[in-house]
Amino acid sequence: MHVYLHPSFSVLDHVTIFVAYDGKWEYDGKDWFFKNCKSLIMVVPKRITLSEITHILNKQFEVNKELHHLKLEVHYKTGSIWFPITEIRNNQDLSVFISEASKAKLPLCVTRLDDADAKVVGERRKDDVTLFVAYNGKWEYDGKEWFFKNSKSLVLVVPKYITLPQITDILNKQLEVDKKLYHLKLEVHYRTGSHWFPVTQIQNNQDLSVFISETSKAKLPLCVTRLDNVYAHVGEKRKATQLIRSKY
C-alpha cells in the first residue's frame, strides 16, 4: 500500500482518504463491492478541489491524459441497500465525500476510463444540505419493503430552505429534462418502522421541508421519476370525462 502526503500537510487542515483503484464494481444481490482493487492512502487538504485531487491521482497512477481519464466514485451507506454508486463530478460532490469519509472511512473508488472531462462548480456553504438523489429507477415491492431499483445516482448540495419549484428546476437542468415532453415526480420512502408505510410523493414546499429535515438525520434518498406529459394529460382528460359522465 502506498501513502501520499500532500506538501502542505498539517494535522488540523488535512484529511486522510482511502483510495481503491483498478478494481471493478460487482453486485452480489445485496450490496455493491469494488473488487480486485489496489489501494492507496492519501493525506490531502480538507478543502481540496476536484481538479486538484484528480491532478494528484493522475500523477500517482501515471495516467496518460491524452488517452485516459479517471472516474471517481463512492458507495454511500444510506441505510438503503439499493442506493446506487455515486460519481464525484464536481467540487460539491467531493466536499460531501470528504465530510462523509471523515466519519465512516468510505473509500474513494477510482477507475481509469477513456475520454471525458470533469466539470467543476461552486463550493459548499454552511447553510446548505446534502441530498442523495436516485433517479431513472422503478419502485418494486418484495413483499416486505419498497425499493427504487435499477436507478442512477446524483448528489446535490442545496440551501436548507429551498422550495419545490427551485429544486425541481435544478433537477430538470441536472437531468436534462425537456419540460415540453416530461415532468419530474419526487418521492421518498420514510423509515417509519412500519414496512407497509407507502412511498410518499413530495407535492409542496412543506413536504420538501419535512424531507430535508428527515434526510439530514437519516440520509434518505430523494427518488426522482421522469414522467411523460402526454400520459399526464391523458389522465386528466379521463378524469374530466368521468366527471362529465357522472353528471348525466
pLDDT in tens, the chain (248 residues): 555 555 655 556 788 999 999 898 887 767 788 999 999 999 999 889 999 999 999 999 988 887 788 999 998 877 665 577 889 999 999 999 998 888 888 899 999 887 543 333 334 455 788 899 999 999 988 777 888 998 999 888 888 889 999 999 999 999 999 999 999 999 999 877 666 678 899 999 999 999 999 888 888 899 999 999 875 555 544 544 444 444 44
Same domain (yes/no): 33, 7 = yes
Beta bridge partners of 222: 133
Q: How many domains does the chain contain in total?
A: 2
With CA atoms as reference, report the closest residue to 185 among 152, 136, 230. 136
Q: Which of 117, 139, 156 is the last residue of a domain?
A: 117
Looking at residue 56, what is its pLDDT?
93
Task: For residues 61 and 168, state if they share a domain.
Answer: no
Q: What is the domain extent for residue 105?
A: 1-117
Q: What angle do CA 215, 219, 222 make, to 5 degrees?
A: 70
Q: Residues with Cβ < 8 Å from 240, sequence gap 6 or more?
A: none
Question: Domain check: are 246 and 131 in the same one?
Answer: yes
| Residues 214, 218: Cα–Cα separation, whole Å | 6
**Same domain assignment for residues 96 and 134:** no
Within 10 angstroms of residue 159's Cβ, the number of other Cβ atoms is: 13
Among residues 117, 133, 168, the one where a domain terminates is 117
Tell me, yes or no, whether 21 and 131 share the same domain: no
95 with 132, same domain: the answer is no
Residue 237 is placed in which grid cell? 382528460
Same domain for 111 and 129?
A: no
Whole-angstrom distance, CA of residue 173 vs CA of residue 176: 5
Q: Do 38 and 61 meet the contact criterion of CB atoms below 8 Å apart?
A: no
Do 156 and 113 share a structural domain?
no
> Which residues lie below 8 Å from residue 71, measured CB to CB, with a gap of 6+?
87, 110, 111, 112, 113
Strand 152-159 vs strand 128-135: parallel, antiparallel, or unpaired? antiparallel
Q: Are residues 109 and 136 in the same domain?
A: no
Look at residue 60 and give its three-state secondary structure: helix
Where a domain ends, among 95, 117, 139? 117
| Same domain as 134, residue 107 | no
User: Are both 152 and 51 inside the same structural domain?
Assistant: no
**C-alpha cell read off for 210:** 419535512
Alpha-carbon distance of 50 to 222, in angstroms, equals 24
The string of DSSP letters for 155-185 reads: EEEEETT--HHHHHHHHHHHTT--TTTEEEE
**Is residue 3 located within the same domain as residue 83?**
yes
pLDDT at position 133 is 94
In this structure, what C-alpha cell is assigned to residue 110? 477510482
Question: What CATH code is carried by the domain that includes residue 135?
Answer: 3.10.20.90
